[in-house]
A and B are shown apart, each in its own frame.
Chain A
Amino acid sequence: MKTFSIDEINKLYQFAKDCRIYKHLVHQAAFRGFCTAMRDLENSLGEQVEDPYWQGLLRELKHFRFIHYAAPVPINYRADELLRFLEDQKKDCQLFFPSFFPRLQGVIDHVSDLVAVPGNPLLEKILELMTPVDFLKTAILLKEAYLIPVVDEVLGSLLTLKQVELVNRHQLRGVQGYQKLFVIGPHYWFPDYSFRAPRAEEVHYIRYSWIADTWEVQPVFIRPSHSRNTNEGIPSLARVGDTAREGTGEDQEQAEIPEINWQRLSTKVMRATPDDRAQEIVPSRLYLLASNHAVFLEASEHARVLALDLETGGEDDDEEETQQIRRIPVAKLQPGIFLLLRTEGGGDYIVPIADKILGEDAAQLRQAQEQWKTRLRREVEKKELLDVCIALLDLGGSKHVSEINLRYWMSSKCIRPQDDRDFRAILKLVGLADKEAFYCDVTDRIESAHRRAGFYIRKLLIRQVATADLHEIHKKGYMEFELPGLDGGSLTAFRIEGISPTITSLSASRIGRPVPAREY
C-alpha cells in the first residue's frame, strides 16, 4: 500500500487550516411545487401510509425526489418515467382510496409540469461558482456512489465539465485534494470529516432552498467551558462564508434518504443464488455491497469472513490478526469494510485451492469427512439437538459441547471440533469409534490444506493490493483479484454499503455468493 509524502500530508493540514466553507441555496419553483404536493399527500394519508399500495407509490416518488436532491441532474430527468408509473396507479387509487385521489392527481399534475421544465438548477449553480481555472481541480461530492454514472453522463455532455471529478465520501479519506469541492445536499448527509478534515481549498455545499440544514455541529471533544486550550474542534465552521438566502421564511423540510428495501433485495438475491436443499440450513444476514451487489453471509457465532484492511495495513509475519487480509468475525462487520468474496466459480474460495494441495486424495478425504458429518446430522434429525449434546457429554465430550457448537460442527464450514474429546465423542456416537485414527488423520490433512490455501491466497492478494491505487478502490468500491492457482477463479473485495437488520435461515448454498442487485 502506498505511503504518503510529507508534501501530500502538508497539503491536508493546509486545507484544515485555510479551507473556506460556503453554503448555497438553489430555488426551482416547479420542483418545489412537486415536493410540497408530495409532502401534503403523504401527510394526509395518516395510517393509510402503511398500506402496500401507498408504500410502493411513495417509494417511487421519494426515490425521484432524492435523486434530484442529491445529484445535479436536469429537472425533467426521469420525470416522464415517473409520470407513466403514476398514471398506471390512478385507477387503483380511484377504486380503493377515492378520497385521496385529488391529492394524487395534484402530484401527477406537478410531475407533468416537470416533464416540460428545462434546466438543471444545481449544475447551473456549480457553473456560476466556477472560474475557468477551476475546471481541472474541481470535484463534486455525491451522497450515493450509484449516482456517479448518472451525473457522469450529464457532465459528459458539457465540454467544459469533462475534467470535473465525481467523488464519493470514501474518496475524501485519502490525500487527493481539490481547489473546489461541490457537495450536493445538506451537510448532515455526509460524514463530518468532509468539512472537519476537508480535502479542498473551498467547499461549497449546495442544496435546494426548502431543505433544512441548521449546521448544528458538536465539537469533537468535550472540554470545560473555562478551558485555556479552547480551540472549538470545528475550525472550518468558523470560516463558513454564508451566501445562502436563509431566514426568508420559506417552509423548510428535512431531506430524507430512501431506505433500503431489504425484503425486495432479499428476494432478488434468493432468485439469483442456488437453493441446494441437501446443504444445511444456516442463519444468515444480507449485506448490500458497492457496485450494486448483495450477498448473504452466515450469521452464526463462529462465522468469519475474509476482509481487506485498507486502514491499518498489515505486518509481514505469520500472525493472522496482523495481516492486511484476515478473517474477521461477521459480528464485527460494518459499512465501509471491504469483504473478499469469490466472484467466479461461486461459493467458497478456500476449498478448491485446498483440494489442489490435497491432490488426488482430495475427493476421498472430502468423502470421508462428509461421512461422519452426515451420520451426526442423522443423529440430530432422529433426536433433538439438546439430546445429542447430552449424549456427547456422556461419551466424554468437553465443556464446549453446546447446541450452538453442535450446529457448527455439523456445518460444511467446520472441519472438526477443536477439542479432541469432542471429536472422539462424536465418532463414538455415530459408530465410528474404531476408525478414530483414520478420521483424525483425514481432518488433520484437510485442516493443514485449508491453512496453506488461506496463506497462499493471502500472499497473492497482498501482493496485488500493494500495487493498487487506493483512490481508485475507494471510487469504485470494489477491487478484483485474479487467482492464477484456481481455474477461472477470481475474488473481489467489495465495500459494505449496508447491513440488513434481520437474520433469516436459508441453505448454505446461498451463502457467500455476491450477485448484482440494487434496491432503493
Chain B
Amino acid sequence: MISINLFYKSSTSWTLLPAWARFFIDVGIAVVTHENISKRALVGLALPARAYAAPLVAFGVTMGKFASSSRDMEAARRFQQLCELKSNTPLLYRRNGKLIKVFFDGLEEMDGEMKLCLSTKGERYWITSRQALQVEFPAKEFSMLPTRPSQRVRDRPSQFLVSLFGIQTARAIVSQSSLDSLTIGSLYQLKEEIQDWPIAVRTETGFASGFLQEVTRVRRFSKRTQAYRSEIYHVYSKECENTGQEIPAVVIFDGGAGFSKWRDSWRQSDWVILFDQTETEFDVAVQAFNDEYIKSPVGDRELSWFLAPPAYIPTSMYQEARQ
C-alpha cells in the first residue's frame, strides 16, 4: 500500500491530516489498486458527518491509479473501450499542445497493427494502443465541428503535484484524461472542499501547498482544455442517469440520498458509499445497502485486501459481478 502524508493549514502551521482523513485517502487507494476485471467492490461507510470524505476518497483513487496501474495497461484498456464505439462518435484528441475535436472513424489495420481512425476538418489521425490515453470523451457531445476544431492547451504541473508524484507522473496527470472517479453528492460543499481548502505535502525545503483539485481534476471545475481525472454530479441532476460513454473506475456516493436514487445505475464501477448517520435518508439507504449485501454470494462478503477500518467508522463491504 502506498503511503502519503498530507498536511492541512491549521490556525498556525501545517498540520498532518487526522487519522480519519488519511483513512479516506487509503480507502480510495485500496479500492482502485485492487480493481478486479470481473468483480466490483462495494464499500459502505457510516460517518458522523460526510464533509471532506468524498474529496479525500477521490484524491486516493487518483493517487492509487497512478501508483498501481502501468500507463500501458491503462492505455490498452482505453483503446479497447474506444474500439467499441459507434462510427461518428464525437471525441477529443490531445496532440502537440492542442485539444482537437474529432469523430471516431472506425478501425484500420496498418503495418500489422490495429489503429483507431479519428477524423476532423480535412485531417485524419491514426491512434495506436499506446496513444489511446490522448483520446478522451467530451463533456457534452457535439454533432458538427466548429470552424477551428482545435484549441491550444497550456497546462503545467504545479509544484504540489510534482512533489506528490514526481515530474513524469505529474506531467501525465495534466496531459491525459481519465474518469478515475465520479462523485454523486452536494455540489456546493464539495466545490469548497476541493478548490478552496489548502493542503500541502512536505518537501526537502519545506511545504509545497496546493488544493485537492490539482489531483482530482474535477472536470466541471476545470477549464475546457484541461485534462480531467474525476467528475461530480449533483445528487438530483439528470446527469446521474448514466448516459455518458466513459465508465468511472470508482463511483463515490456522497450521502445516502444519492445511493438511494441512483443505485440502479453505474453498476460497472466499484462503489464507495458514504452514509451520513445524521442525514434523513440514512436508515432507508443503509437498509438498501444491507438488502443487496444479503443477496451477494457468501464467498464474496469479505475483501481480504481491504484495510482495517477505525472502530468509530462502521464499515461493510462485499463484491459482486460487474454489470
Contacts and interface: CB of A to CB of B under 8 A. Distances in A.
B310 A17 contact: yes
B171 to A, nearest CB: 30
B317 A12 contact: no
Given A312-B185, A334-B280, A336-B280, A231 B49 contact: no
Given A228-B304, A312-B257, A172 B316 contact: no
Interface stretch (A190-198, A367-375, A420-428): A190-198
A13 interface: yes
A18 to B, nearest CB: 8
A315 interface: yes
A6 B52 contact: yes
Nearest to B279: A311
Given A3-B192, A193-B278, A221 B315 contact: yes
Contacts of A4: 49, 51
B286 A337 contact: no
Contacts of A336: 280
A7 B18 CA distance: 9
B313 A231 contact: yes
A16 B48 contact: yes
Given A192-B277, A197-B49, A312 B315 contact: no
A220 B309 CA distance: 14
B312 A235 contact: yes
A245 interface: no
Nearest to B49: A12
Interface in A301-339: 311-316, 319, 321-322, 326, 334, 336-337
Interface in A114-160: none
Interface string B281-297: 11000100110011000
B307 to A, nearest CB: 9
B237 A315 contact: yes
B10, B48, B289, B309 interface centre (most CB from chain A within 10 Å): B48
Task: Please list the 7 inter-chain residue pairs (A to B) with the smallest Cβ-Cβ separation, ordered nearest first.
Answer: A221-B316, A233-B314, A197-B48, A173-B278, A313-B188, A197-B277, A16-B312
A10 interface: yes
29 contacts: A3-B192, A4-B51, A9-B52, A10-B21, A17-B311, A172-B278, A173-B279, A193-B278, A193-B282, A196-B277, A197-B277, A198-B48, A220-B286, A221-B44, A221-B314, A224-B301, A227-B301, A229-B316, A231-B313, A235-B314, A311-B186, A312-B234, A313-B186, A313-B189, A314-B234, A319-B238, A322-B237, A326-B236, A336-B280
Contact of B277 (A193, A229, A315): A193
B142 interface: no
Interface in B207-238: 234-238
Contact of B314 (A173, A219, A312): A219
Contact of B49 (A175, A222, A228, A326): A175
Nearest to B193: A3
A223 interface: yes
Contacts of A221: 44, 46, 286, 289-290, 293, 314-316
Nearest to A319: B237
Interface in B145-195: 185-189, 192-193
Contacts of B302: 224, 227-229
A191, A313, A316 interface centre (most CB from chain B within 10 Å): A313
B202 to A, nearest CB: 18
A315 B234 contact: yes
Contact of A231 (B187, B257, B314): B314
A349 interface: no
Given A197-B277, A222-B290, A336-B280, 8 more contacts: A1-B189, A13-B18, A172-B278, A222-B294, A224-B301, A311-B255, A312-B186, A312-B235
Q: How large is the interface on A (under 10, 10 to 19, 20 to 34, 35 or more residues)?
A: 35 or more
Contacts of B310: 17, 231
Contact of B188 (A1, A17, A222, A326): A1
Nearest to A192: B277
Interface string B34-63: 000000000010111101100000000000
A69 interface: no
A232 B315 CA distance: 9
Interface of B: 8, 10, 18, 20-21, 44, 46-49, 51-52, 185-189, 192-193, 197, 234-238, 255, 257, 275, 277-282, 286, 289-290, 293-294, 298, 301-302, 304, 306, 308-317
Interface in A198-232: 198, 219-224, 227-229, 231-232
Contacts of A319: 237-238
A219 B193 CA distance: 30
Contacts of B18: 6, 10, 13
Contacts of B281: 311
A237 B197 CA distance: 34
Nearest to B284: A334
Nearest to B289: A221
Contacts of A235: 311-312, 314
Contacts of A13: 18, 20, 48, 312
Contact of B315 (A15, A229, A334): A229
Interface string A1-40: 1011011011011011100000000000000000000000
A124 to B, nearest CB: 31
Interface string A331-353: 00010110000000000000000
Contacts of A198: 48
A321 B241 CA distance: 13
A322 B314 contact: no
A321 to B, nearest CB: 4
Contacts of A316: 188
B236 A312 contact: yes
A9 B49 contact: yes
Contacts of A193: 48, 277-278, 282
A321 B238 contact: yes
Nearest to A6: B8
B261 to A, nearest CB: 10
B262 to A, nearest CB: 13
A238 B312 CA distance: 11
A133 to B, nearest CB: 23
Contacts of A238: 311
A233 B46 CA distance: 8
A227 B186 CA distance: 33
Given A3-B193, A312-B257, A197 B278 contact: yes
B46 A220 contact: yes
Contacts of A326: 236
Nearest to B199: A6
A22 B278 CA distance: 21
Contacts of A7: 10
Nearest to A227: B302
Interface string A236-250: 001000000000000
A198 B286 CA distance: 19
Given A9-B51, A228-B304, A312-B255, A222 B278 contact: no
A224 B299 CA distance: 10
Contacts of B49: 4, 9, 12, 175, 197
